[in-house]
Structure 1
């Protein structure tokens, strides 16, 4: 039964009930009130509930809370004034004509009740307004967060849906080169590709994956590329074991390695080296991909792979993450990703 009572009625009953209890408590222990005064206090409590409930009905009907603050202040001021006049008048009538307690003339009783009820009505109005203001603010923030999460999810799905065809296209090109030249090795390449696709499909279901999972995709991809480049492609890993469980965006590492091969290794007559590193520095997860080659033009915004990396890092981590690519020296290029440790 109690579960069916709304928060509003609980606040009304407990608020006015506590007010009446304090009057009764001090009355019994300090003023020795009689039965008539007890009835007056109970009437005061009941009238407070009824009149403020009517006040609330007006607020809800005319949607005062949704109006500009200047208008709300004026409406509440006159609402408090009207409620105080009505409440104090009824209390004075009950005191004089029902309970027979003429404490001075009727006008004096009414004015005393008016000043006290104005204070209580103003307090009720302030609490009511603040409650709804905080509630509306909280709901607005929750709604904004849900909207941002939805937008972020859609953006990530869009980027991933673009990444997969982009990656598959490049992988199929690698296999096509082997079909006539070496069918047996082509079959091996197809097996490697199936492993990559299976892992990438699983990665699409999450916003982040562990570095260990991402490395397994990269190793399959490099095994596939090694069939094409043979001894021209050398790979080294410098992975801190403690970073294997850290989260990274799905296919990010594979995209950067693919970029290193496409724009670095494939353009070198003798091939080159790819060095993949992962460490923690100053409470930030730092991933580096170094490859033989040189940047001959500004790549800090060009190319789908690099742009998608920046987009996903921005969506997931905001300004707390960074990505840059530059010539490390006269022979090597370095791509560096820094992410906060969650």
Structure 2
């Protein structure tokens, strides 16, 4: 039964009952019977007029009005409900029940005081609720925008990767058809893994590393002995979450803009380790990093920055630099999830 009572009526019941107890417990000495009768009439009228004026102001949809008009609503609610309550209280006590009314000014002051407090609580409650609802809407909108941005970036990454992979396979078709068939199989494995990864904002480091190994197996067919890959993977990092296709994008960047531009090829070193309460991923490759390159070099790097920012904010970082005259180092640092 009590579950069907709304929050509003619970507040009415608890509020007016508290008012009743305060008036009963505060007076000292003998209390005339007329006091209890007046108090009960006062409370009944208080509930009646607050409820009627609340129904009316909600019917006018007061929350949709500008702040200035809401202040006017508040003023007229206090004046209107207080005045009618006093008039009703005076008529009932004086002419219906024929009880000693007492000091009229004191009764009027009591009506205005209790109604002012009631409407202040009512308005304050709805202001807090509206503010909280607005913040929740903003958070929901931000989460939706973040999700759409992540999906957009991942949707751009797959065609970008497929284009590069197909170029690699095309180079093998005439030269070595058998290796081209093997390369197509490797590409199929990568696409299957990347499509599964698109469904989540993050994947485990182990799954991401498997995609990278498939990709490097594909590139090894093209570069043969010109490509040397080494790993330094802390087993404790394999279960950690990372943005999908992030590691693959950085490795692809190292191959395309580092190894492929060096006649003798070079090395790619992939490192994943714990650094305090952070997960550090590092890719080193032969080559030199050049700022502001407009040939597509910046797409994978920018997508990495965007996804890290969307997922982790300023708790993650990404930098790429020339480690020395022969090696480039890309470093990603993420918080532990």
TM-score scaled by structure 1? 0.90
* Mapped pair 1:125 → 2:119: yes
- 1:299 to partner: Cα distance: 4.9
Residue matched to 2:305 = 310
* Maintained 8 Å contact 1:252/1:309: yes
User: Deviations along 1:206-253, whole A, 9 cap, x unmatched?
Assistant: 011111111111011111111111111111112222222222111010
Residue matched to 1:194 = 188
Residue matched to 1:325 = 320
User: Deviations along 1:100-138, whole A, 9 cap, x unmatched?
Assistant: 22244xxx3x32111112121111111111111111111
* Maintained 8 Å contact 1:260/1:291: yes
Structure 2 unaligned regions, length at least 5: none
* Maintained 8 Å contact 1:328/1:334: yes
Taking a change above 3 Å as real, the CA distance of residues 131 and 302 of structure 1, as seen in their structure-2 partners, is farther
Residue matched to 1:338 = 333
- In the alignment, the residues of structure 2 paired with residue 250 and residue 290 of structure 1 have an alpha-carbon distance, to the nearest angstrom, of 20
- In the alignment, the residues of structure 1 paired with residue 135 and residue 253 of structure 2 have an alpha-carbon distance, to the nearest angstrom, of 40
- 1:16 to partner: Cα distance: 1.8
TM-align CA RMSD: 2.2
* Maintained 8 Å contact 2:282/2:330: yes
Residue matched to 1:277 = 271
User: Deviations along 1:3-57, whole A, 9 cap, x unmatched?
Assistant: 4432222222332233224434557x954553x5433322222211111112213
Report the more deviating stretch, 236-245 or 259-268.
236-245
* Maintained 8 Å contact 2:201/2:243: yes
Residue matched to 1:162 = 156
Taking a change above 3 Å as real, the CA distance of residues 144 and 297 of structure 1, as seen in their structure-2 partners, is closer
User: Deviations along 1:170-223, whole A, 9 cap, x unmatched?
Assistant: 112222222233232222222221211111011000011111111111011111
Number of aligned residue pairs: 336
TM-score scaled by structure 2? 0.92
- 1:166 to partner: Cα distance: 1.0
- 1:297 to partner: Cα distance: 4.1
Within the candidate set 55, 62, 65, 2:63 is matched to 65
* Maintained 8 Å contact 1:240/1:278: yes
- In the alignment, the residues of structure 2 paired with residue 44 and residue 90 of structure 1 have an alpha-carbon distance, to the nearest angstrom, of 9
- 1:274 to partner: Cα distance: 0.6
* Maintained 8 Å contact 2:289/2:321: yes
Residue matched to 1:96 = 94
- In the alignment, the residues of structure 2 paired with residue 240 and residue 209 of structure 1 have an alpha-carbon distance, to the nearest angstrom, of 17
Q: Matched residue of 2:125: which SS?
A: helix
* Maintained 8 Å contact 2:243/2:308: yes
How does 1:24-63 map onto structure 2 within 5 Å?
A: 24=24, 31-34=30-33, 36-63=34-61
Structure 1 unaligned regions, length at least 5: none
- In the alignment, the residues of structure 2 paired with residue 56 and residue 100 of structure 1 have an alpha-carbon distance, to the nearest angstrom, of 30
* Maintained 8 Å contact 1:299/1:325: no
* Maintained 8 Å contact 2:257/2:297: no
- In the alignment, the residues of structure 2 paired with residue 72 and residue 222 of structure 1 have an alpha-carbon distance, to the nearest angstrom, of 66
Residue matched to 2:8 = 8
Report the more deviating stretch, 226-235 or 84-93.
84-93
How does 1:195-274 map onto structure 2 within 5 Å?
A: 195-274=189-268
